[in-house]
Amino acid sequence: MKQLLFLVLFLSPLTINAQNWPAFRGPNTSGVLETKLPTTWDVEKSANVLWKTTVPGLSHASPVVWGDSIFVITAISSDTTAGFKAKDRGISLSNDETKHTWHIYAIDKRSGRVLWQQKAYEGVPRAKRHVKATQANSTPVTDGQYVVALFGSEGLACYETSGKLLWKQDLGVLNPGLWDDKTSSWGHSSSPIIYRDLVIVQADGHQQSFIAAFNLKTGKQAWRVERDEITSWSTPTIYQGKTRTELIANGGRYIRAYDPLTGKELWRFSDSNTQVKMQAPQISNDLIYVTGGYPAGRPMWVLRPGGSGDISLKEGETKNDFIAWSSTSGSPYTPTPIVYGDLFYVLADNGVLSAYEATTGVRVYQQRLPSSFSASPIAADGKLFLASEDGEVFVVKAGREFQVLAKNVMGQPLMATPAITTGMLIVRGENSIWAVGQK
């Protein structure tokens, strides 16, 4: 009996954690959660589709999961013709001069039933958006007790997971856009993260560029650091080392590390004014993987933590003690890469999937998928799941040999990165959310 009790106590936290996908790209933006998932499904025939729920409005924010609850946000325009152009490749702005309401929903993971919803804000949007974007792009974050949603320029809001509003914070107008055109406003999309009792927000825009932390219980600002950055859309990531913890923030001018408890800058690495940073830094193999920039194909950097001050390359250098490996090209434009097993996978907007040895940078393969992508790769069960702008989820076998196992048609553009929870893939489309799993 004692042995059985010990086994239950030992396994319970693992079982609980295996259910949770608490933020953008899951645990610490990794995109990985090991569980059994189906390779194929059929939306029209409901084969391996557990439920489908309609969510009104427009949003590219990903679902997050804790326990049996899924949390999503949306922005509902009073203009019934409002939409987005999933495959747009220009720089046009959408006309959002009508009243919107911003909502957060809690959905039962088992049935798809809406458990509760709250209206967070109402009014005409304070900032414009790209025709490809929405007014609700940032993925919420939860620790199981609180759920925090960032509604762009409409502010930050914290709820108990039961739906009770606890606090709100006005962060000002968050208006990232074309980096050298201050009239351009494409919409905020960097997602908040939780570290201990702090919720941390990165906001690099025309009017203000900062990173700040707020007390999770009260909403009181704990610290704020001005960043002197060009516009970016990247979500920060926590590196937890043996001797210290570093908050890694990707930016157009510098990749920076901060002390997450105080905001003190620890080190910076110059990225030479790389435009349009969107990718979240990745942590694996005790290394920090940083990509992104315009035009697509810019350098990729894999850095060692623990630096101090400016660790940038000096003139004439191609490597220093803080660079594990780098590539002069290969960075994606929109999707965040993923480290899975011993490989580092990079998905480009145009469907080119490249695999590299994660610790050396040696390229293993480069192949093209017949679609375009904004959502980021996620992985489980020895497979990569890639959601496309054309409304398909490609399932690719993980490993050194490129193999497409399936193409699953959802019937709606897929801009949000899916979520994984025990035995289920949660997919968000233009106006629907599906739970995919074996019945």
Q: Which residues pair with 427 in a beta bridge?
A: 434
Angle at alpha carbon of residue 297, lines to 296 and 302, rounded to 5°:
120
Predicted local distance difference test score (pLDDT) of residue 375: 98
Which tens digits make up the pLDDT trace of 306-333? 999 999 999 989 899 999 999 999 999 9
- Where in 18-128 does DSSP place strands (E)? 49-54, 64-66, 69-77, 93-94, 100-108, 114-123
Judged against a pLDDT cut of 60, whether residue 1 lies above it is answered with no
Query: Which residue, chain included where needed, has tokens 């609700």?
Result: 136
Tell which residue, 287, 240, 335, has the closest CA to residue 31: 335
> Would you say domain 9-436 falls under CATH 2.130.10.10?
yes
Judged against a pLDDT cut of 90, whether residue 302 lies above it is answered with yes
Name the band, by pLDDT with cuts 50, 70 and 90, for residue 2: very low
Judged against a pLDDT cut of 60, whether residue 223 lies above it is answered with yes
Q: At 436, give phi and psi (nearest 5°).
A: -105, 130
d(CA 433, CA 422): 17
Which tens digits make up the pLDDT trace of 61-98? 999 999 999 999 999 999 999 999 999 988 888 989 99
Comparing 299 with 184, the larger pLDDT belongs to 299
Predicted local distance difference test score (pLDDT) of residue 185: 87
Q: How far are the Cα atoms of 165, 282, 426 from residue 104, in angstroms, in the given order?
A: 11, 28, 17
Judged against a pLDDT cut of 50, whether residue 7 lies above it is answered with no
How far from chain centre, in Å, is Cα 81?
A: 27
Q: Which residues pair with 9 in a beta bridge?
A: none
Which tens digits make up the pLDDT trace of 368-416? 999 999 999 999 999 999 999 999 999 999 999 999 999 999 999 999 9
Tell which residue, 432, 420, 409, has the closest CA to residue 47: 409
Predicted local distance difference test score (pLDDT) of residue 385: 98
Strands 93-94 vs 129-130: parallel, antiparallel or unpaired: antiparallel
Locate 21 and state its tokens. Answer: 């996908």
Judged against a pLDDT cut of 90, whether residue 272 lies above it is answered with no
d(CA 25, CA 210): 22
Judged against a pLDDT cut of 50, whether residue 13 lies above it is answered with no
Name the band, by pLDDT with cuts 50, 70 and 90, for residue 9: very low
d(CA 85, CA 430): 11
Query: Which residue, chain included where needed, has tokens 């030992």?
Result: 10
Which tens digits make up the pLDDT trace of 14-45? 334 569 999 999 999 999 999 999 999 999 99
Judged against a pLDDT cut of 70, whether residue 198 lies above it is answered with yes
Q: Which residues pair with 300 in a beta bridge?
A: 327
Residues 6 or more apart from 113 whose CB is under 8 A from it? 53, 107
Predicted local distance difference test score (pLDDT) of residue 17: 57
Handedness of CA 334, 171, 80, 412 (dihedral sign): positive
Judged against a pLDDT cut of 60, whether residue 233 lies above it is answered with yes
Rg (CA), the chain: 20
Is residue 104 a contact partner of residue 116, using CB atoms and an 8 Å limit? no
- Least-confidence region, from 92-96, 122-126, 337-341: 92-96
Q: Would you call 14 helix, strand, or coil by DSSP?
A: helix
DSSP string, 322-375: TEEEEESS---SSS--EEETTEEEEE-TTSEEEEEETTT--EEEEEE-SS---S
Order of strands, sheet of 156-160, starting from the edge strand that comes earlier in the sequence = 141-142, 146-150, 156-160, 165-169
